[in-house]
Chain A
Amino acid sequence: MIAWKWLRSWEAVLVAALAVELLALGAINPAFLSVENLLFSTSDFAHVILGALGLTLVVITAGIDISGVSIMGLASIVLGLSWVAGADIWLAVLIALAVGSLAGTFNGLLVANTDVNPLVLTLGSMFMFAGIATGLPGVLDLLGFKAYGAGGFAAYQYEGITGLPKEFTALAHGGLGWVPNPLIAVLLFALVLSLILHRTRFGRYLYLIGVNPNVARYSGVPVKSVIVVVYTLSAFGAAIAGVILTSYFTSARSDLGSEALLNIITAVVLGSAAFADGAKIAFIPKLTGVGFFESGGKAPSRWARKSARR
């Protein structure tokens, strides 16, 4: 009965579409259908899924957060700068995650304490975070740290902060067997978020706030703090994505992930049938949504690149 119900759901449609798509591409070129190829190609869009996962929580509360893509770049550049300033690379990762999450707290405080549309607020903070991420290396350079590396500003603009330790840059390229590390991070984050959503009171509050914030307020839900936590969580996901991107591209750049905004929104929209109506959203489909969209858009060219490399 449950299986039958699932088959008729939106997720099932997406999974079916994904299967059809993969089979069709596989028919055109059988080499595409190797499990290893498919699994490792997820590393190219792990950051999109991480951003979409966090954003889903925000969308459930009938909000929106488009500043995540800038938080990816901010986290990346903070990671690089902390390392340049002499921090241990793992401490630098922690600092990056903390700064990224704080950026989300900033969003959350704004959204919770005004009646301004969250799209406007996060649009403003998106520009702001991106600007801070681009400006920070210059400040650090003025302070005497060599943020620009040996090649100076021109080289920095081209390649970002490079020379990060091998044990960190190898992280995003490694994996457990056939499962690459970025995908493991995505699955863990998805698991944690779905546990929060479906097994905690906090998770249920999100749906209530999404349906009717006034009812939530009158029933004693601490609406403001829940909102702040949600935007912080969303930013935390983006910060993880920023760290993974830094490791994947072996350099810290302020524009990492900046292209992902529309992909992230599309993933959330595709994964959830009702965008405007926050409460109707089921959670797990995000993964299928992103998988469908990304492999549809890029898989063939990615496969071509990979096979050319071999």
Chain B
Amino acid sequence: MNRIVKNRELLVLAILGVLIVVIGAISPNFLRPTTLINIVNSSLFLMLIAIGEMFVILTRGIDVSTGAMAGLAAVILGVSLNAGVPLPVAIVLALLTGLAAGAVNAVGVTAFRVPPIIMTLGSLGIYRGLMLLITGGSWIETIPHSIKSVAAFRVAGIPALVWISLAIAVAVAFALKNLKQARYLYAVGDNEEGAFLLGIPVKATVFSAYCLSGLFAGAAAVVFVAQIGFVPMQTGSGQELKAIAAVVLGGVSLSGGVGNSMSAVVGALFLTAVDSMMIFLKIPGFWNNAVGGAILLAVVFIDYRIRCAVKDEQQRARAREMDQSTPERNNPTAGSASVMGKAT
């Protein structure tokens, strides 16, 4: 029970597993490997944006410009490919665009102390405007086919992009556990003043979180363009809220300091899988949002009830412990020591 509370990813993953089995029972085609691989493949865009978003939310900030940053990076990728820039250079340019867009947010939030939601709301408008300025409002459609070969490349029957993205997610999870600078993210998110007093470079940590958010939005843009081969004007529009929903679903707390990249992976997988399940249940696509929203609410609510139940149970255990230790009241140190021992 405690493990589930500490690991929302496990709870969500368990629900997802049950859902997959149920849908598979109704419609066996759903369990075919190609279907499952396609689900993972189409969740990559959201997954990468969500991982970026996670860094910011860990520091107790919020970034609503992720979708716009991804859109801007996609436009840069498309335009530079059309201008004859070699593919690897164009990809690096797209990543740098995301990084630069994130750095602008970072400067606003750290140097000018603009509240994150206001800063990123403003930059969202700016980045969307830049997209229009660069393209003149038209879709970028005639992108060289070299970009699509990136998505078509498969290793062991699974698209290379899936391998790369999952590897990145695992690497991020590993870094978040073991890297000192990554632990700073948690410290700052949990208690900014405390972190400052401990000598943690708070501003640099927050700064890097927003930059990483931009960088991952850029990476998401590369995946997006590689998968669909053109850049529509609304690329990434609305994805910022989906990304926030995904990380929250996966167990990242908006009050900072809780969660890791697996939360983003599980959340994005879940939301995408639900969309596919609707297709297999022959439910019209426009119910997707209703179901997605209801699931988010249900998971958050169930999680709240479980936390309450566990807390009650812990307090009852503590009360029993206190009762048992009453005879030792004559010796207060012994009594409190046993309570302390139980509590830790």
Q: Mark B187-211, 1 if CB is under 8 A from A, else 0.
A: 0000000000000000000000000
A127, B248: Cβ atoms closer than 8 Å? no
Number of A-B contacts (CB under 8 A): 88
Stretch of A18-26, A87-95, A112-120 contacting B (4+ beta carbons < 8 Å): A112-120
B300, A131: Cβ atoms closer than 8 Å? no
What residues on B are CB-neighbors of A131 within 8 Å? 286-293
A129, B300: Cβ atoms closer than 8 Å? no
Q: Mark A28-50, 1 if CB is under 8 A from B, else 0.
A: 00000000000000000000000
Bin chain A's interface residue count. Answer: 20 to 34
A138 contacts partner chain B, Cβ-Cβ < 8 Å? yes
What residues on B are CB-neighbors of A126 within 8 Å? 241, 293
CA distance A124 to B300 in the complex (A): 9
Give the contacting residue for B245; candidates A110, A127, A134, A276; CB below 8 A: A127
Q: Mark A258-275, 1 if CB is under 8 A from B, else 0.
A: 000010011001000001
Give the contacting residue for B297; candidates A128, A132, A134, A276; CB below 8 A: A128
CA distance A185 to B300 in the complex (A): 37
A226 contacts partner chain B, Cβ-Cβ < 8 Å? no
A175 contacts partner chain B, Cβ-Cβ < 8 Å? no
Closest chain A residue to B291, Cβ basis? A131
B244 contacts partner chain A, Cβ-Cβ < 8 Å? yes
B124 contacts partner chain A, Cβ-Cβ < 8 Å? yes
B28 contacts partner chain A, Cβ-Cβ < 8 Å? no
Question: How many whole Å from A201's CB to the nearest CB in chain B?
Answer: 30
Give the contacting residue for A110; candidates B118, B286, B292, B301; CB below 8 A: B301
Q: Mark B137-157, 1 if CB is under 8 A from A, else 0.
A: 000000000000000000000
A135, B290: Cβ atoms closer than 8 Å? yes
Give the contacting residue for A125; candidates B244, B287, B293; CB below 8 A: B293
Q: Interface size (B, Cβ < 8 Å)?
A: 30
What residues on A are CB-neighbors of B253 within 8 Å? 117
B297, A121: Cβ atoms closer than 8 Å? yes
A161 contacts partner chain B, Cβ-Cβ < 8 Å? no
A58 contacts partner chain B, Cβ-Cβ < 8 Å? no
Give the contacting residue for A275; candidates B115, B244, B287; CB below 8 A: B115
CA distance A102 to B88 in the complex (A): 53
Residues of A participating in the B interface, judged by any CB pair closer than 8 Å: 110, 114-117, 119-121, 123-132, 134-135, 138, 262, 265-266, 269, 275-276
What are 25 of the A-B contact pairs (CB < 8 Å)? A110-B297, A114-B304, A116-B301, A120-B296, A121-B297, A123-B244, A123-B248, A124-B293, A124-B297, A127-B290, A127-B293, A130-B290, A130-B293, A131-B289, A131-B290, A131-B291, A134-B286, A134-B289, A134-B290, A135-B287, A262-B121, A265-B117, A266-B121, A269-B115, A269-B121
Top 7 nearest A-B pairs (CB, nearest first) are: A131-B290, A127-B293, A128-B293, A131-B289, A124-B296, A134-B286, A124-B297
